[in-house]
Structure 1
Amino acid sequence: MTQVVRQEPRMGASLVRLFFHDCFVNGCDASVLLDDTPTMIGEKNAVTNANSLRGYEVIDDIKSRVESACRSTVSCADILALASRDAVTLLGGPSWTVPLGRRDARTASIAAANASLPPVSDGLTNLVARFAAKGLSLRDLTALCGAHTVGAARCANFRPHVYNDSNVDPGFATLRKRTCPAAGGDDTLVGLDATSPTRFDVSYYRDLMARRGLLDSDQELFNGEAFNRDFAAAMVKMGSISPLIGSAGEIRLNCRRAN
């Protein structure tokens, strides 16, 4: 992870997002890593994942090294949880002890992903309900959204916010419109944190206080609740959403397919 983040800091943010998108769909079971098969359409092509999630190759590389050293012992789900923790730490954020023992799912579901993952347009009421359904409080929601202090968003995802919403600073909206036209340029990337998009810090919260949040879902969160810094505790709590343990699931040899 040190090598990965040094080479591309944005990949650290991508791995945290990959972990989030895994846990929110039927628990933290590495189902998001499964490729489609002739009999299964997985989560990679869900609405919020297609052409957006990344970092699969990083997990593949880690898994290959772990399998070479200790075959059929460490799950892809645990690797993803550990990689996301290390990504945050290497980007300047907190560290925490990751509870281990997750097992890997044998199947995945695009329908479950589409139903469970919040779109960037989600308002506060929907966000609170989605997190509550996973046993996560408003405090957890507030802290976990702090992960947006690193990484970037596509123009297609923040265009409606800067062009149509009233809860955005006019000067900030004008600045973002320069790189995100009303039509075209959908894949143009802009840092979620305007101040320090490659460092895990609290400037994300300061941006929201100034109505300079890039995503509507983030700005909606600020409109409803004061911010907390409980990110590490919330990550542990999220990482414990319905894990497969005991005899459930398996330890995949390859994170992209069931054994």
Structure 2
Amino acid sequence: MHTTYLRDLYHLHWPKVILVMLLLSVTVQEAVSQGQGYRRKHLEFYDDKPIHYGILFAMPFTRYAIKHNEQFMTGDTAYSIKSPTKAAFRMGFTVNAFLNERFDLRTTPSVSLYEREVRYSYPSSPEKIDKRESTWIEVPLLVKYKSQRRVNNRMYMIAGITMAIETNVRRGRGGGVGTLDTKSTDFTLDYGVGFEQFFEFFKFAPELRFSHGLGNVFQPSQNSLGKGIGRLSTHTVTLYLNFE
């Protein structure tokens, strides 16, 4: 029987809270701009340049989506296998290529420091926790749709795919009985929304992006911790702070 903990519900609501805060900030900015009358337009010819560069800092909230196999009901002694949402850190740079008035081509190569967990609950034994501390290099290819710019504000939507490679792989780490084995590559489907604020010398853009793993990162082995698992896929919600 699967048990839902209050702390898990708390983490699951974080993406919704961030999205609401982002939308509220856009509404407030729009109301303030309408009430101020004339405002100076910063970086007026920003879109005339074909390519822009920048840096980013981000906070991902990540977990594994777990699909059980047939052995979970018959041969596995665990009655619950789950992955709680964990906060992480990401930093990288941005390359944005202008396509036309509405669309850009964008990539944000970055380094991410993750700590994912898989928790095993047993009816008559203490809970087991398998921690996955890892460093990943992630290279997305994204298409960006921009709204019409209103003085110094602009909304945008973004979508694409990301290739990810784990860099601190320890060979044979899943061969023992105490750790779960996972693959060192991943592909994700990404989409999100953002809000651009133009200042005198730079552009700041908070962004909320959702990522869903397309592949199965579970590596079958003789490990006892993998007996009840048929598929592991990554799910991540990330708050970006972009500076260009």
Instruction: Name the TM tier (shorter chain).
Output: under 0.3
Structure 1 or 2: larger strand share?
2
User: Where is the helix percentage greater, Structure 1 or Structure 2?
Assistant: 1
User: So what's the TM-score if we normalise by structure 1?
Assistant: 0.23
TM-score normalised per structure 2:
0.24
Ranked by relative contact order (alpha carbons within 8 Å, sequence separation 6 or more), the top structure is: 1
